[in-house]
Each structure stands twice: as C-alpha cells, then as structure tokens.
Amino acid sequence: MMPPPDPGSKVAEMDPEGRPEVHRSEATSADAPAGGLRQRITGEPPTAAESEPQPEPVTAPAVQVEGLRAFYGDSMQLKGIDIEFRANEVTAIIGPSGCGKSTLIRCINRMHEEIPGARAEGRVLLEGADVYDPSVDVVAVRRAIGMVFQKPNPFPTMSVFDNVAAGLRLTARRRENLNQKVEKALRGAGLWDEVSDRLGQPGIGLSGGQQQRLCIARSLAVGPEVILMDEPCSALDPIATLRIEELIAELKQRVTIVIVTHNMQQAARVADRTAFMLSGELVEVGPTQTIFTKPADSRTEEYVTGKFG
Amino acid sequence: MSSSPRAAERTLARFAPSAARRRRDLLARRIVLVGTILALIPLVLILYYLLSKGLGAWSPSFFTSDPTGNTFFGAAKIGGIKSAILGTIEMVALAGAIAIPIGVGVAVWLVEYGRDGWFAQTVRFFTDVMTGVPSIVFGLFVYIALIVGTGSSYAAYKGSIALALLMLPIVIRAGEVVLLLVPDSLRESGLALGAPRWRVIGSVVLPTAVPGMLTGMLLAIARAAGETAPLLFTAAATHETSFNLGGFMNSLPVQIYSDVTSPTAAVVERAWGAALTLVLMILILNMVARLIARRSRLA
C-alpha cells in the first residue's frame, strides 16, 4: 500500500511530530472543533478545550451535481456530469491527468469561473439549493464550501495565527473570540500542539506537511460544510500524507469531503466512495471497495489495475 | 564489469575540448571583457570629475545657505544650494504623492481586472509610449496647459505635476511586473475562503507585492529627482528657500543648469557641488531600493 517512510529522509527529521501515533491523534480529535456549522446552529460559545467532550457528529449537507458541463473557452472539459457526494462521507475522484477531476471540484464552489474564459452549465445542489442560481452570492458559496489546494500555499506575509485568522478577517465574519476560533481551527487540523508556541512566526516557515494542515485550518476557521481537496498530498512526503489522511477521517464527522487524488492507494485508504472519471465523463461511482475489486465498467478495471493512466 | 584505466583515459580524451574550441572560448571571453571595461570608462570618469570638482565646493555653509544671485564678488558671496535641495525634495515628494497612488491603482487594475482585455492592452500601449516621451515634452505640456492656458504664473506644484507625469509610466510598469509575480495560488486560496476579490487584493496580493513595489517607486522618484526639463518652465528658478508649493521654487537640476552657464568660476564650481549632491541623493535612494528588493519574498 503506502511506501514505507524513508528514515533518512530530511522531511522525516524535520517533522518528528508527524509520526502516526494513533493515541495522539485521538486526543487531538477530542478537542477538535465541533465545526463552525454546529456553533452557528446552536449559538453556543466554544468551551475550553480540556473540558470539551468528544464532538458529536454534525450532519453536513450532501452535494448533488446534475448535468454539469464545464468549458474553457470553446473546449468542453466536463461533458455532463451527474454525481452525488453523500453527507459526511469522503468521496474520492480518480482518473488520468486531464480527465476533469479538478475542474469538477472547482465547479462545486464556483472557483472554475475565476479562470478567464471558463464557464459552467448545469446544477450543483447544496441542501437542494443550486449554487449556480442567479440569486446566489458566489462569495457565500465559497464560505460554505471550502477548498484545499495541491500545493500548500499559506499567505507569505502572514504569521501562523494570521493565516488562520485570515479566513475570518477576509470574510468579515464576526471577530469576537478570534483567539479561540483560531485555536479551534488549528486543533481541528491537528496542528495546535506543533505550532501553539510559534503562532507569531511566518506561516511559510513550517514544514510542507504542517503548511498543508495550516491551509486546512485556514479553511476550517470559516466553518465550511463541505471541503474540497485538490490532490492535497501530492506535494507531501509519506508521513505528512498519513497525517492528512488521518485528519480527513476525523473531519468527515463534521463535513462532507470530496478529494481528488492521483494516488489510488490513497483513495482506497480514505474514501467511502470513489468516482472514476475519463475524458470529462464520469465512468462510474460506487463504494470504494467495489470500485477497486468489482468495477462495473471495464475501463475502470483497466485503470485501477494499472493497464493505463 | 570493471573498466580498465585505459578505457577511462580514452573516455576522458573523448570529453576533452578541442584546441580550436578553447581558442574560440578565450577570444569570446576577451571581447566581452573589453566591452565591459569600455562601458565602465565614462562611468568612472563621471564619478572622478564629480568628486574632484564637486568636493571643493562643499562646505557646511554650502548646504545651509541659499544662493544669493550675486555672482561678481567671489566664492564667499555667492551662497550655497539649500533652497535647491529643499525644493527638489518638496517637489519630488508632491510628484510621488500624485503619481504613486494613481500608478499603483492602474497596475492593480491592469493585473487584477483588465488582464488581457482590449482596454487593458490599450492602457499598456499608451503607458509604454509615455515611458518613451522626452521629459521636456511633459514640461512643455504642463507649461501650455497650466501656465499659458490659465494665464497664471510658474508654481512649484505645476513642476510636481510635470514630474508626476514622468513618473507615472515607470510606477505603472514596475507595479504591474511585481503584481504579476504574486502567485495565482494565493489569490485562489483567498477567493476559496469566501473573501471578496477586493479584500483578497488588499490583504493578500498587495502586502505580498509591497517590497517589490517600493523598489519601483524609489527608482521612479530617483528618476524624477534628476530631471531638469520638466521644471525649467513650470517651477522656474529662484534663490530663496520656499515652502510654498504655489510659488516659484528652486531645484537642484535647475540650479545646476543655470550655474554651469555662468562666467564666474566660483558659480560653475557650485554647479559641480550641486551635481555631486544630487548624484549622492539618488545613489542613496537606489541603494535603499536595492536593500528592500533583496528582502522581497518574490523572486
């Protein structure tokens, strides 16, 4: 499955905290935030981390994609996609390069249209509401549907604290309890223990894996209900990757997760359901186990067994 | 399979450059070196003359007294260049205050909103044209528009406007280059957080670009500080130190220009002293710009 971590690797030395300790990560999840959503619904102020009980799972919304077609200029990149991302599940999207995986998730939070000349048609339903409805504010959509990118990209001018707070400051959310909210997001991303003593230092001074968890904390701080991850581990070493994968398993208690990955082992490890895409079309989607062992489509079987791609 | 020492020798011989290539290499290096030395000669000579002729004019009173305008009674009576130094600082500061906000605004618009649209391309074209316009044309334009056109007199602020016009294209181009260096991934992650575009620009893009921007601004200021032509018939030449931007104002380039044509040797020497002062001021600005650029997080 996963390649064994190279004990002599530089990153492993730099990130000793990244070791996959099951007990430790459980302790982290105990004081992880109950998500901005629950707090927003209940209006409860966040309790002290030590006394907070195991967070109850929060029901996150499902995402339905209906007849989605995406274009770059005149060329059609997505040729009519219908798929459901189930609530509180991790759905992995796999497929060869250029098949439209990233385009699909970028259409869900309407980041696709930020590229000059790009546009999308069809419906993306969040709790039944179409995010492409003309009455919808694109900025509000992105607060509800967070995104983590391929390369860790903390804001270079900001400290660790400010990076996480940026999510709240830039969106002009209520700023009371900023310290608590930042701590909560950092705990939620499993990063608090590693950075609590250097919150004032630059975010880009962290290791690659820590930077990516910082980016996850930054998007968690805004309180998203869905998190889209675009190959979040492709720039990370195996140990940092494992930390992110553990985090994904924790996060799905509170959010719906869609993860694009080139790594089929990763899909097998983290995803409840897996979707296989090819040339802008969805070939099939189903329970991860089924996709990897008894796929319905022969193209899926050829891909997962390594015959192409 | 181990290779014999003879095989290694043969391989080395195969990789060795031929004699002809070594000769060509040496020749090319020498040509480039001669070119570099030729280019350095005028530069060294300028610095040499500035120092040898200008340092003689320097004295404490040179910087603390205004020129008297009395040029017939020897070095003791002609006065210094205080009004010129202060005038240059005042007018260039005002020019910067006009050109920098406008220029940064244009650069932000070009990079973040206009992109490759036809209007943005038109703006870029005219900015490039403006970069090549001789400085005297800016002076002439302000002279005709604000002095002849309004029937009013010379004024320091009119000189500043001429300098600002000169600085504007430099600021825009420098700002645009630096903003383009800010990675798109930063804009995307800001937008993906649900931040409005203007907040992403204000809180993420501009702070990342600030060090590089400062370099461009300081170079534009240094360029404006050395210009004579835009000030000649906009701010005029005068003797007294003035803090009134609505009146005549002296400046270093204009003072040098008028002094160097004087028949009195002491006055010509004052021109050299003023020139050395101006060069040092610009040198300091350039060094500050380089220092800031080195601290920049962008390439």
Place of tokens 């002094």: B259
Name the residue among A254, A255, A265 with its Cα closest to residue A288: A265
Question: Is A37 in the B-facing interface, judged by CB distances under 8 Å?
Answer: no
Q: Pick from A156, A171, A204: which is nearest to B195 by CB? A: A171
Q: Which residue has the tokens 């002809």?
A: B20
Chain B CB contacts of A235 below 8 Å: none
Q: Cα–Cα distance between A92 and A103 in angstroms, integer?
A: 14
SS3 letters across A198-230: CCCCEHHHCCHHHHHHHHHHHHHHCCCCEEEEE
Partner-chain contact B189 A167, CB within 8 Å = no
Q: Mean pLDDT, to the nearest integer, of B239-263?
A: 90
Q: Which contiguous run of DSSP H or E holds residue A179? A: helix A178-188
The continuous run of DSSP H or E covering B40 comes out as helix B19-54
pLDDT at B129 over 80: yes
- Least Cα separation, residue B131 to chain A (angstroms): 29
Which residues on chain A are in Cβ contact (under 8 Å) with B297?
A: 156-157, 204
- The predicted-structure confidence for A190-204, as pLDDT tens digits, reads as follows 899 999 999 999 999
The predicted pLDDT at position A47 comes to: 44
Token couple for B64: 């603390």
pLDDT higher than 80, residue A41: no
Q: What is the 3-state secondary structure (H, E, C) of B171-194?
A: HHHHHHHHHHHCCHHHHHHHHHCC
Whether A54 shows a pLDDT value over 60: the answer reads no
* Chain A, chain B: beta-carbon pairs less than 8 Å apart: 75
Average pLDDT over residues B111-126: 93
- Determine the residue type at A265: Q
Confidence of residue B6 (pLDDT cuts 50, 70, 90): confident
List pLDDT tens digits, range A57-110. 777 788 999 999 999 999 999 999 999 999 999 999 999 998 999 999 999 999
Residues 6+ apart with CB under 8 A from A150: A230, A231, A232, A234, A235
| Residue to substitute from B193, B198, B208, B296, interface A, most A β-carbons within 10 A | B193
The model's pLDDT over A155-198, given as tens digits with 9 standing for 90+, comes to 999 999 999 999 888 876 666 788 888 999 999 898 999 999 99
Q: Distance (Å, rounded) from C-alpha B244 to C-alpha B153?
A: 14
Chain position carrying tokens 């240059």: B88
Q: Which of residues 64-93 of B touch A (CB under 8 A)?
A: none
pLDDT (average), residues A227-256: 92
Which residue has better confidence, B199 or A22?
B199
Give the minimum alpha-carbon distance from B263 to chain A in angstroms, rounded to a whole number: 57
Please report the DSSP string for B234-265 in residue order. TT---SS----TTS----HHHHHHHHHT-S-H
Distance from the B299 Cα atom to the nearest Cα atom in chain A, whole angstroms: 13
Residue B192 and residue A143: Cβ atoms within 8 Å? no
Sign of the dihedral through C-alpha B289, B292, B297, B299? positive
Angle between helices A208-221 and B184-192 (to 10 degrees): 40
From CA B102, how far away is CA B198, in angstroms rounded?
17
Contact present, B249 and B237 (Cβ < 8 Å): no
Contact A221, A185 (CB under 8 A): yes
Output the pLDDT for position B123.
96
Residue A80 phi/psi, 5° resolution?
85, 85
Please give the pLDDT value at position B238: 84
Phi then psi dihedrals of residue A285, to 5 deg = -140, 145
Q: Give the helix/strand (H/E) hosting A93.
A: strand A90-94
